[in-house]
Amino acid sequence: MPRFDDIAVGEELPSLIVPVTVALINGGAIATRDYFPGHHDLQAARELGSPHIFMNILTTNGLVQRFIDDWSGPEGRMRELKIKLGTPNYPGDAMTINGAVTDKRASDRSVEVTLKGANSMGNHVTGTVRVSLP
């Protein structure tokens, strides 16, 4: 678990590799009550012009939170999350999330992590997360 006093701007977080599967996409959509057909119905996704079903933003959001939580541990507190979607996540691919500490604020013992999650087509998600650390 990182401690605020031990963190330096520029420190890289361990990568997280997420295999993108039908089960992950379907499960994420169901868990977040997102019943848009493009997240679970292959034919409907194809009718929309997509080659396969695709991940919803709330699943992506959860994976970003997992990436941060894996690094910060149970005492870290996520304070702010800002993400932007790019290329879709399709089954059969993998998304690798990388990030680094880009700001450190002593007033609230928080750090900002700038991250990106890329698949074979490019960046699926980019953003920043502010985390308070012990």
* pLDDT digits 0-9 by tens, 89-132: 999 999 999 999 999 999 999 999 999 999 999 999 999 999 99
Which pLDDT score is estimated for 113?
98
Which pLDDT score is estimated for 85?
98
Distance CA 116, CA 83 (A): 9
Distance CA 39, CA 105 (A): 39
For range 64-77, the mean pLDDT: 97
- Residue extents of the structural domains in the chain: 4-132
| 4-132 CATH choice from 3.30.70.660, 1.10.150.130, 3.10.129.10, 3.10.25.10 | 3.10.129.10
Reported as a pLDDT band with limits 50, 70 and 90, residue 34 is very high
Which pLDDT score is estimated for 71?
98
Q: What is the mean pLDDT of the chain?
A: 98
Reported as a pLDDT band with limits 50, 70 and 90, residue 7 is very high
- Residues of the chain with pLDDT > 90: what percent? 99
pTM of the model as a whole: 0.95
* pLDDT digits 0-9 by tens, 20-31: 999 999 999 999
Sheet holding 94-105, edge to edge: 16-19, 94-105, 110-119, 122-132, 77-85
Which pLDDT score is estimated for 38?
97
Which pLDDT score is estimated for 48?
96
